[in-house]
């Protein structure tokens, strides 16, 4: 009869095993089968947040892909149809930057000289540079997703769906062109959206300056010649100072300062006098800001005349945004360079004068500084202010300043025309949609994400770039504007079929306005890539042009998962687009993942050289280990301190433990040619019933936790089960396995197979390998249904826990007494009452064997081993007595322990008197512990204790020696390289006492060591492996000869 199972190496190469499983998946087309077999079942919808493939995948990508995989696998096993369409984010500045690097060019002029068509062709290629590596990694880590049918944001169909969405937004009058101050990257030549700005803050030291603005036409209680003191951290904006803003409600002070060069008078906010002017200042007058409105002053630079700004140029204006928190309480206003500035300018009709060109340099109006990058001019301007006597003070100012997230150029705030989506008008809907989402962790919902929505600003949609979805807006010189919602519509208007909707081809498509006949040309902008990805729920299916039914079936998503940094990225764009277009959230459950840092807590970066490449981990430990680490080492949202070794720990502690339990089963099943039947529901043996109950308990927990998107506690519950299985069930049941006990085999096999099903979503490789070898009734464990919860015996679970605790106490007592477990002892004396005693009595065989004692003797009180200690149970008494607890504790301490012990044993209640009131307390209200007793080998814990009778008689000593001999022979067998089932003949020689012991227990020795015969002659005539050893100082010579199998 052939062996029932493939033999299993007890020291496996997990990565090699995984490769063979991958091969089997390919052969059997398991992923596809797992999806198609659920066709027609209720769907569970997952949306893939598309990565950009123009960089190598890192370990953080493995993190998100592991979590993106586990829940769809779980739901599939639960019977849901879980289609998983892959996706790629293809557009955007990162791609352009990469191509610019390849081409060695650095500006938009360069790109246009190079040619937009050719440039975009390069971008298209670049996007998929590392696609092969992405695909290879995706497959290797067992991330099941349909890569062949992945959506790509660059496809014409995808773009058309995006156009459709924009047209919906246009029709709702929520798409507009605004003239706004935007964060602008002068190098990339484009405005950045707020979520892009969020990516690039870094701490920098800038010059901050206090500057005198002399009053030339005073209003209110100030005089000509006084100086308005203003503060700014951007000296380069002073050249286009248009006005000074004050808060009309704030109190200002007119301050006299004695100086070496004479006295002077300055105006600052009263609250800031000390900070700005310092000591020695004399406040001459106090007044509200409104009192000095309209005051005219002399600007710091005269490149641009005051009249150019309009009537209110170079005057003091009221602005409610001004505070006394920093600076001077008087705010320099440069209309083109700040959001508040711009709004103030609009309010007072100031002209927008922007002397800074799109490349970030001054134009010819700024005289000697023309042509220089503005940030580089800061220092020269400060010097000029000092020379002209305008500078009050200059100091370094460290603050976080936004930089371009791709090219690191400091951003400028800059008034530019730009296209917006009026998300502020649907803020309430966005917040309502957010309420329908389950966030993991919970605090994101009303914390980070909720707060972000509360502070929502209009979505700056347009980018003056090349490689992106073109903004489908056409307009005439007369100002007529149309938003095109489909290729068909454009073709109908223009007569030109859209072949490639990208620039520059789409730019060439023009048409006559249907009414006026004016020529309509497309605006030059492309759109924010985040809109692309936010449109994926419908755009991935080319809905509504095709597959509208598919889209509707798969909207919204049940589950999405990305890293925390997507709060303002994809999480926002998905919610915003679907709220704009569909009026609701496009996802129901989100798992947010934290950042990965190295062992030292440092962010991983290429420049620091501390990046752990995913392949390194996979080659060393395998994909299951990688995934297991992410799932169970901690809750995923707080980030990981990650290293290759950290993954290895999980291999040793969990995967190898599971594997070796499996290897153990196969070893003995094959050795005994055992093919167990189905597991019994209620086996007779307590251990069998216990492990099955534990299995069912774990199944319940795992399903409950996975339903709550909590892989961590689900995984840890499985690890506990595997530990119980390996270190208690198998350990306690070994003899039954080598005796060929079919019930034990059936139980262990059932546990292992069920564990593979519970664990399959976590560790898809090792589980499939084990399943395939032990069961294999499906082509893969991933085609199985998730296990259902069977019968539990919670009483038995508790009893086993008590028995294990008792064993622990007994072993501890042995350790204290320095008596080896191999030496049998006569008696263990156990103190336990009530349920504990019942539990230990029921488990007496286990306790006796584990402790290697001949008998257990129970004593029900403390009489022999110590006295009782009674303590109040605060947990139950606290809520009842509240602030009387100190009195209760005192009353309990005053009780007679012997009487209380007797009362509790008989189930009676105890009376106590608190503040003259009588109360009764029961056994649950008291904690009974054993008090220590000097001079006895007793170990106690809580209310039970174990003591050992250490007296050894000749029989016990003899049996101990026999066990020593068995142990020595087993070591020799192992050293000789024998298989566990090999039979031997055994020769023993040496110390007479030892030989006597072996003779006395000959049947035991030969049975344990599989010896067909034992000879006690010295090694004459035997041929075999000889080993010498000493037992308690006595010599023993062992000769082993393998017996040829019959």
Partner RNA sequence: GGGCGAUUAGCUCAGUUGGUUAGAGCGCGUCUCUGAUAAGGACGAGGUCCCAGGUUCGAAUCCUGGAUCGCCCA
Backbone angles phi, psi at 577, to 5 degrees: -65, -45
Name which position in 282, 393, 734, 835 contacts RNA (CB under 7 A).
734
Under the binding rule (CB under 7 A), the answer on residue 400 touching RNA is yes
Shortest Å distance, C-beta 1028 to RNA:
18
Say whether residue 6 binds RNA (CB under 7 A): no
Nearer to RNA, 540 or 852 (CB): 852
Distance CA 299, CA 232 (A): 14
Compose the 401-440 pattern: x for residues touching RNA by CB under 7 A, - for all others. Answer: -x--------------------------------------
**Which residue among the candidates 78, 168, 540, 566 is catalytic per the annotation?**
566
Task: Provide the minimum distance between the beta carbon of 181 and RNA in the complex, in angstroms, as a whole number.
Answer: 11
- 620: contact with RNA by CB under 7 A: no
Question: Nearest distance from residue 610's CB to RNA, in Å?
Answer: 14
Cα distances from 495 to residues 485, 487, 489, 490, in angstroms, run 16, 11, 10, 8
- Touching RNA, residues 678-717 (CB under 7 A): none
Name which of residues 628 to 667 contact RNA (CB under 7 A). 633-635, 638-641, 646, 649, 652-653, 656-657, 660-661, 663-664, 667
The count of other CB atoms within 10 Å of the CB of residue 738 is: 13
Asked if residue 188 binds RNA (CB under 7 A), the reply is no
Verify binding: residue 720, RNA, rule CB under 7 A: no
Q: Decide: is 604 part of the binding site for RNA (CB under 7 A).
A: no
Cα 642 from Cα 601, distance rounded (Å)? 9
For residue 91, CA distances in Å to 123, 504, 531 come to 8, 15, 11
Tell the smallest beta-carbon distance from residue 776 to RNA (Å): 21
670 binds RNA (CB under 7 A): no
Instruction: In whole angstroms, give the CA distance from residue 1025 to residue 1042.
Output: 9
Nearest-approach distance from CB 326 to RNA, in angstroms: 7
DSSP, residue by residue, 262-322? --EEEEEEGGGHHHHH-TTEEEEEEEEGGGGTT-EE--S--SS-GGGG-TTTTBEEE-TT-
Residue of 48, 112, 35 whose CA lies nearest to 76: 35
Among 564, 630, 634, 569, CA closest to 594: 564
* Active-site position among 606, 818, 879, 1045: 606
Q: How far is the CB of 650 from RNA (least distance, A)?
A: 9
Residue (of 529, 550, 482) closest to 510 by Cα position: 482
Give yes or no for residue 779 binding RNA (CB under 7 A). no
The residue within the footprint of RNA, chosen from 10, 224, 388, 605 (CB under 7 A), is: 10
Pairing of strands 201-217, 391-402: antiparallel
Q: By CB under 7 A, is residue 305 in contact with RNA? A: no
Catalytic residue of the set 530, 628, 690, 728: 530
* Residue 882 in the binding site for RNA (CB under 7 A): yes
Q: Is residue 606 at the binding interface for RNA, with CB under 7 A as the rule?
A: no
Size of the site for RNA (CB under 7 A): 82
The phi, psi pair for 213, rounded to 5°, reads: -115, 100
Q: Which is nearer to RNA, 38 or 944 (CB)?
A: 944
178 lines the binding site for RNA (CB under 7 A)? no
Residue 777: which region, alpha, beta or left (left: phi > 0; alpha: psi -120 to 50)? alpha
Choice among 88, 231, 439, 570 that is catalytic = 570
Distance of closest approach, residue 799 Cβ to RNA, in angstroms: 18
Check: CB of residue 334 under 8 Å from CB of residue 238: yes
Q: What is the 3-state secondary structure (H, E, C) of 45-70?
A: CECCCCCCCCCCCCHHHHHHHHHHHH
The residue within the footprint of RNA, chosen from 20, 795, 875, 902 (CB under 7 A), is: 875
Closest distance between RNA and the C-beta of residue 419, in Å? 18
Catalytic annotation present for 451: no
Exactly one of 451, 603, 608, 835 is catalytic; name it.
603
Residue 609's alpha-carbon distances to 603, 604, 642, in angstroms, are 10, 8, 14
Contacts of residue 528, defined as CB under 8 A and 6 or more positions apart, other chains included, come to 193, 196, 459, 460, 461, 462, 463, 468
Binders of RNA in range 441-500 (CB under 7 A): 443-444, 447-448, 451-452, 455, 457
Q: Is 109 helix (H, G, I), strand (E, B) or coil?
A: helix
- Give CA–CA dist 558/997, Å, rounded: 70
**884-913 positions binding RNA, by CB under 7 A:** 885-886, 889
The residue with tokens 């014409």 is 156
Pick between residue 69 and residue 724 the one whose CB is nearest to RNA.
Answer: 724
CB 940 within 8 A of CB 866: yes
Active-site annotation holder among 12, 50, 235, 636:
50
Token pair for 123? 């971008």
**Complex with RNA: residue 8 or 111, whichever CB lies closer:** 8
Tell me which residues in 909-968 interact with RNA (CB under 7 A).
Answer: 929, 963, 966-967
Q: CB of residue 95 vs RNA: minimum separation in angstroms?
A: 21
**Closest CB 641 distance from RNA, rounded Å:** 4
Nearer to RNA by Cβ, of 146 and 339: the residue is 339
Handedness of CA 586, 591, 592, 598 (dihedral sign): negative
Is residue 740 within the footprint of RNA (CB under 7 A)? no
Shorter beta-carbon distance to RNA: residue 232 or 582: 232
**Is residue 738 near RNA by the rule CB under 7 A?**
yes
d(C-alpha 182, C-alpha 195), whole Å: 12
By beta-carbon proximity to RNA, the closer residue of 389 and 455 is 455
Q: What burial class does residue 426 get, using C-beta atoms within 10 Å of its C-beta: 0-12 exposed, 13-18 middle, 19+ buried?
A: buried
Q: Quote the least distance from Cβ 45 to RNA, whole Å.
A: 27
Residue of 69, 89, 458, 598 marked active site: 89
Alpha carbon distance 963, 956 (integer Å): 11
Q: Residue 921: name the closest of 880, 960, 890, 884 by CA.
A: 880
The nearer residue to RNA, 758 or 972, going by C-beta atoms, is 972
- 530 carries an active-site annotation: yes
Q: Is 608 an active-site residue?
A: no
Residues in 982-1021 at the binding interface with RNA, rule: CB under 7 A: 1007-1010
Residues 788-827 that bind RNA (CB under 7 A): 808, 811-812, 815, 818, 820-822
In angstroms, give the least distance from the CB of 883 to RNA.
3
In angstroms, the CA 315 to CA 224 distance is: 13
At residue 212, φ and ψ (nearest 5 deg) are -85, 130
Q: Quick one: 677 or 1007, whose CB is closer to RNA?
A: 1007
Active site residues: 50, 89, 530, 566, 570, 603, 606
């Amino acid at each position: 009869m052939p062996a029932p199972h493939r033999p299993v190496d007890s020291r496996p190469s997990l990565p090699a095993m995984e490769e063979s499983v991958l091969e089997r998946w390919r052969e059997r087309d398991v992923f596809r089968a797992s999806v198609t077999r659920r066709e027609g079942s209720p769907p569970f919808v997952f949306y893939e947040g598309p990565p950009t493939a123009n960089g190598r995948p890192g370990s953080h990508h493995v993190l998100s892909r592991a979590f993106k995989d586990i829940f769809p696998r779980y739901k599939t096993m639960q019977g849901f149809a879980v289609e998983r369409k892959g996706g790629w984010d293809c557009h955007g500045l990162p791609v352009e930057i990469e191509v610019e690097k390849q081409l060695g060019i650095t500006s938009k002029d360069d790109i246009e000289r190079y040619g937009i068509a050719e440039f975009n062709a390069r971008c298209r290629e670049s996007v998929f540079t590392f696609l092969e590596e992405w695909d290879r990694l995706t497959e290797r880590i067992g991330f099941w997703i349909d890569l062949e049918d992945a959506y790509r944001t660059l496809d014409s169909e995808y773009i058309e769906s995006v156009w459709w969405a924009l047209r919906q937004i246009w029709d709702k009058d929520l798409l507009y062109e605004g003239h706004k101050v935007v964060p602008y990257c002068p190098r990339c030549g484009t405005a950045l959206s707020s979520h892009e700005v969020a990516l690039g803050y870094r701490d920098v030291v800038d010059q901050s300056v206090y500057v005198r603005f002399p009053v030339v036409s005073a209003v209110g209680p100030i005089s000509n010649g006084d100086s308005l003191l203003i503060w700014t951290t951007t000296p380069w904006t002073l050249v286009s100072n248009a006005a000074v803003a004050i808060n009309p409600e704030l109190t200002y002070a007119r301050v006299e300062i004695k100086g070496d060069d004479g006295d002077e008078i300055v105006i600052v906010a009263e609250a800031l006098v000390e900070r700005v002017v310092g000591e020695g200042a004399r406040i001459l007058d106090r007044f509200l800001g409104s009192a000095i409105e309209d005051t005219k002053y002399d600007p710091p630079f005269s490149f641009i005349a005051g009249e150019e700004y309009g009537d209110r140029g170079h005057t003091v204006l009221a602005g409610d945004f001004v505070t006394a928190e920093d600076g001077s309480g008087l705010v320099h206003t440069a209309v083109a360079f700040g959001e508040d500035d711009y709004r103030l300018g609009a309010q007072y009709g100031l002209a927008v004068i922007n002397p800074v060109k799109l490349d970030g340099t001054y134009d010819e109006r700024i005289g000697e500084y023309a042509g220089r990058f503005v940030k580089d001019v800061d220092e020269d301007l400060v010097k000029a202010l000092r020379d002209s006597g305008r500078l009050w003070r200059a100091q370094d100012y460290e603050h976080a300043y936004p930089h371009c997230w791709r090219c690191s150029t400091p951003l400028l705030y800059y008034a530019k025309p730009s296209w917006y989506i009026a998300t502020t008008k649907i803020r309430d809907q966005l917040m309502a949609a957010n309420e329908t989402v389950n966030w993991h962790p919970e605090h994101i919902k009303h914390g980070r994400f909720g707060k972000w929505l509360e502070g929502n600003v209009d979505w700056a949609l347009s980018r003056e770039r090349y490689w992106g979805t073109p903004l489908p807006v056409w307009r005439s010189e007369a100002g007529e504007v149309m938003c095109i919602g489909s290729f068909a519509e454009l073709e109908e208007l223009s007569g030109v079929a859209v072949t490639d909707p990208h620039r520059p081809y789409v730019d060439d498509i023009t048409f006559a306005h249907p009414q006026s006949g004016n020529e309509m040309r497309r605006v030059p902008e492309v759109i924010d890539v985040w809109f692309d990805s936010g449109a994926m729920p419908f755009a991935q299916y080319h809905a509504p042009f095709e597959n509208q039914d598919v889209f509707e079936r798969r909207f919204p998503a049940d589950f999405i998962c990305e890293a925390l940094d997507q709060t303002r990225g994809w999480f926002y764009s998905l919610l915003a687009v679907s709220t704009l277009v569909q009026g609701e959230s496009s996802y129901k459950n989100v798992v947010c993942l934290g950042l990965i840092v190295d062992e030292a807590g440092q962010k991983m970066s290429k420049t620091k050289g501390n990046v752990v490449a995913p392949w390194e981990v996979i080659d060393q430990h395998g994909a299951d280990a990688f995934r297991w680490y992410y799932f169970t080492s901690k809750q995923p949202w707080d980030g990981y301190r990650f290293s290759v070794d950290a993954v290895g720990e999980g291999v040793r502690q969990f995967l190898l433990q599971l594997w070796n339990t499996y290897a153990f089963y196969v070893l003995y099943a094959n050795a005994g040619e055992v093919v167990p039947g189905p597991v019994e529901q209620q086996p007779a043996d307590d251990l069998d019933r216990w492990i099955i109950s534990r299995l069912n308990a774990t199944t319940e927990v795992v399903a409950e936790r996975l339903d709550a998107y909590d892989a961590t506690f689900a995984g840890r519950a499985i690890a506990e089960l595997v530990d119980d299985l390996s270190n208690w069930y198998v350990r306690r049941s070994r003899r039954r396995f080598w005796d060929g006990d079919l019930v034990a085999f059936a139980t262990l096999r059932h546990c292992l197979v069920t564990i593979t099903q519970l664990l399959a979503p976590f560790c898809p490789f090792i589980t499939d390998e084990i399943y395939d070898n032990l069961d294999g009734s499906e082509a893969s464990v991933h085609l199985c249904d998730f296990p259902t919860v069977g019968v539990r015996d919670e009483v038995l679970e508790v009893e086993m826990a008590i028995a294990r605790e008792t064993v622990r106490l007994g072993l501890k007592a042995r350790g204290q007494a320095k008596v080896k477990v191999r030496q049998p002892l006569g008696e263990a004396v156990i103190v336990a009452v009530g349920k504990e005693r019942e539990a230990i009595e029921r488990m007496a065989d286990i306790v006796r064997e584990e402790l290697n004692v001949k008998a257990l003797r129970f004593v029900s009180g403390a009489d022999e081993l110590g006295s009782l200690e009674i303590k109040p149970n605060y947990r139950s008494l606290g809520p009842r007595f509240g602030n009387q607890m100190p009195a209760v504790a005192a009353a309990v301490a005053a009780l007679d322990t012997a009487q209380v012990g007797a009362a509790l044993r008989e189930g009676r209640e105890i009376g106590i008197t608190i503040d003259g009131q009588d109360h009764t307390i029961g056994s649950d209200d008291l904690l009974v512990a054993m008090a220590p007793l000097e001079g006895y080998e007793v170990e106690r814990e809580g209310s039970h204790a174990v003591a050992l009778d250490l007296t050894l008689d000749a029989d016990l000593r003899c049996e101990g020696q026999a066990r020593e001999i068995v142990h020595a022979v087993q070591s020799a067998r192992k050293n000789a390289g024998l298989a566990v089932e090999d039979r031997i003949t055994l020769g023993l020689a040496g110390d007479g006492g030892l030989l006597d012991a072996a003779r006395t227990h000959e049947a035991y020795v030969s049975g344990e060591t599989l010896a067909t015969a034992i000879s006690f002659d010295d090694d004459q005539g035997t041929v075999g492996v000889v080993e010498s050893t000493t037992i308690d100082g006595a010599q023993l010579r062992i000769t082993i000869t393998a017996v040829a199998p019959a």
